Structure 1
Amino acid sequence: MYIIENANILRDKRLHTCSLFICNEKISMIRKSTAHDQYMRMNLESYILTPSYVLLSTAFPMKSTFQVLKTFLSEKFLLKGCTTIFTYVELSYENELENKINEMKTALISSPIDFIIGVKIPPRLITLSLIRNCKKLKIPAIFVELKDNDELEEIPWGWIREAMFPFNSPLIPLISSPQKKEARMLLSKWKDIMVKEKITAIYDVIAENQPLSLAVLNKIGLYPHKGSLMTGTELSYNLYLKESEILKVDAESLFHYHSNRLVATVHKGKVIRAGEKVLYSPGSGEYVKVRTPSYFSL
Structure 2
Amino acid sequence: MPYIIENANILKDKELTVNTLLVQEDKVSAILTRSKHYRFFKMNLEPFIMTPTFVLLNSKISPKDSFQEMKQILKDQFLSKGCTTIFTYVPVSFENELMEKVKEMQTVFMSSPIDYIIGIKIPLRLLTPSFLRKCKKEKIPAIFVEIEDQDVLSDIPWGWIREAMFPYNCPLIPLISSSKKKEAKALLSNWKHTMVQEKIPAVYEEIQENTPISKFILNKIGLYPQKSSLMNGTELSYNLYFKAREIKNVDWSDLFHYHSDRLVITVHKGKIVRTLNEVLFKPGYGDHVMVQTPSYFSL
TM-score (norm 1): 0.98
State yes or no: 1:46 paired with 2:47: yes
Partner residue in 1 for 2:118: 117
CA deviation string 1:67-91 (max 9, x = no partner): 1111111001000100000000101
Percentage identity across aligned positions? 61
Q: Deviations over 1:118-140 (max 9, x none)?
A: 01001100011110111111111
How far did residue 178 of structure 1 move?
5.8
Aligned length: 298
Contact 1:2–1:22, Cα closer than 8 Å, also in 2: yes
Deviation, structure 1 residue 64? 2.6
The match for 1:296 is 297
Report the TM-score, using the length of structure 2 for normalisation: 0.98
Partner SS, residue 257 of structure 2? helix
* 1:187 match: secondary structure: helix
> Which residue number in structure 1 is paired with residue 170 of structure 2?
169
Residue 35 of structure 1 pairs with residue 45 of structure 2: no
Q: 1:220: which partner in 2?
A: 221
Q: How does 1:170-249 map to 2 (within 5 A)?
A: 170-177=171-178, 181-249=182-250
Unaligned runs of 5+ in 1: none
Deviates most, 57-66 or 45-54: 57-66
2:59 maps to what in 1? 58
Q: Which segments of structure 1 move beyond 2 Å, counting only runs of 4 or more?
A: 176-181
Q: Distance in 1 between matches of 2:207 and 2:67?
A: 28
Deviates further, 194-203 or 65-74: 65-74
Deviation at 1:180, TM superposition (A): 5.3
Letter in 2 for 1:35: K
Structure 2 gaps of 5+ residues are none
Asked if the contact 1:147/1:177 (under 8 Å) is kept, the reply is no
Contact kept, 8 Å, 2:62 with 2:105, in 1: the verdict is: no
For residues 134-182 of structure 1, the C-alpha deviation after alignment (integer angstroms, 9 at most, x for no partner) is 1111111000000011221111000000110110000000012466551
What CA deviation, in whole Å up to 9, does each residue of 1:70-115 have, x standing for no partner? 1111001000100000000101111110000000000111100000
The 1:94–1:61 alpha-carbon spacing in structure 2 relative to 1, beyond 3 Å, is closer
2:267 is matched with: 266
What is the alpha-carbon distance in structure 2 between the residues aligned to residue 57 and residue 68 of structure 1? Answer: 15
